[in-house]
Amino acid sequence: MSAELAHAARISMLGQLAASIAHEVNQPLAAIINYGKSTRRWLRRSQPDLAEVSSCVDKILSNANRAAEVVSRIRAMARKETTEAEVVNMSELIEDAITLVQREAQSAKVKVRRTGSTDLPPVLADRVQVQQIMMNLLLNAIHAMQDVRGRSRELCIDSSVMPEGMARVAVIDCGTGFTSGGEGRLFEPFFTTKPDGMGMGLSICKSLIEARGGRITASNNEWFGATVAFTLPLVGQHREGEPKSSYD
């Protein structure tokens, strides 16, 4: 019986791993398909626009690289390897994430703006993982606003430095907010309210952030919409003896 239990546990871990790979790689793949289609349109013009083609190919390459990096990070996790914490420029990373979701934001008619400090001191984390976290939160916020009528669809990214030596990034939307009863389960694997959702995004974000000594919280805003905020330690704030990763 115990051998069967161990086997079942392995299968369920594999299932979660497969689900998280599928979830994280889906977004760059969708971007590659879109830029591939644009490339074809620019090439099929009577006068092909090679400057546009070249910019689309650059975007295809950067999305493909991102997908490959995500897969290698997830494989490292499965092998229980720790990825080294590195110095990450949060402000730059936030700008990059905004650029990456621009297409989705435009087609959902969502205005993106930044508040707070746009010049955060660097944090100690894994750059690709923080990029994954930002993308998850921004896409969730955009999805939560796509059916909003009668008020403007605004997404605000607020960043600040906390007194205890942490950087805080909050993604604030004015969408539907969390459904009542769902609030406590958001970070559970496979919890989703979307017909095509996987429910892996927030649970992955939570484990990545906590592995670096940060925290993630989610709450409904007073009027409408939701705020999901996370903290990460600033460079020089990592305390000796703390695990750098829960995968250690």
By the criterion CB under 6 A, which residues form the site for ligand ADP?
A: 136, 140-141, 144, 173, 175-178, 182, 186, 191-194, 197-203, 226, 228
Q: How far is the CB of 145 from ligand ADP (least distance, A)?
A: 8
Instruction: Give every strand in the sheet of 166-173, ordered side by side.
Output: 111-116, 154-162, 166-173, 226-233, 216-220
> Which of these, 164, 244, 165, lies nearest to 209 by C-alpha position?
244
Q: How far is the CB of 17 from ligand ADP (least distance, A)?
A: 16
16 or 176, CB closer to ligand ADP?
176
The residue assigned the tokens 């600033």 is 234
Asked if 229 and 216 count as a contact pair (C-beta separation under 8 A), the reply is yes
Q: In this structure, are residues 218 and 183 in contact, taking their beta carbons and an 8 Å threshold? A: yes
Residue 5 makes CB contacts below 8 A (sequence gap 6+) with none
Q: How far is the CB of 41 from ligand ADP (least distance, A)?
A: 30
Q: Decide whether 82 or 146 has the Cβ nearer to ligand ADP.
A: 146
Nearest to 166 by CA among 215, 211, 129, 128: 215
Instruction: Rank residues 41 and 113 by Cβ distance to ligand ADP and give the closer one.
Output: 113
Please state the closest distance from residue 209 (CB atom) to ligand ADP, in A.
13
C-beta of 157 vs 234, nearer to ligand ADP: 157
93 or 186, CB closer to ligand ADP? 186
Which residues are bridge partners to 116 per DSSP? 159
> With contact defined as beta carbons under 8 Å apart, do 235 and 201 qualify?
no
Residue closest to ligand ADP, measured at CB: 201
Shorter beta-carbon distance to ligand ADP: residue 65 or 193: 193
Shortest CB 140 distance to ligand ADP, Å: 3
The neighbour count for residue 223, using CB atoms within 10 Å, is 8
In whole angstroms, how close is the CB of 143 to ligand ADP at the nearest point? 7
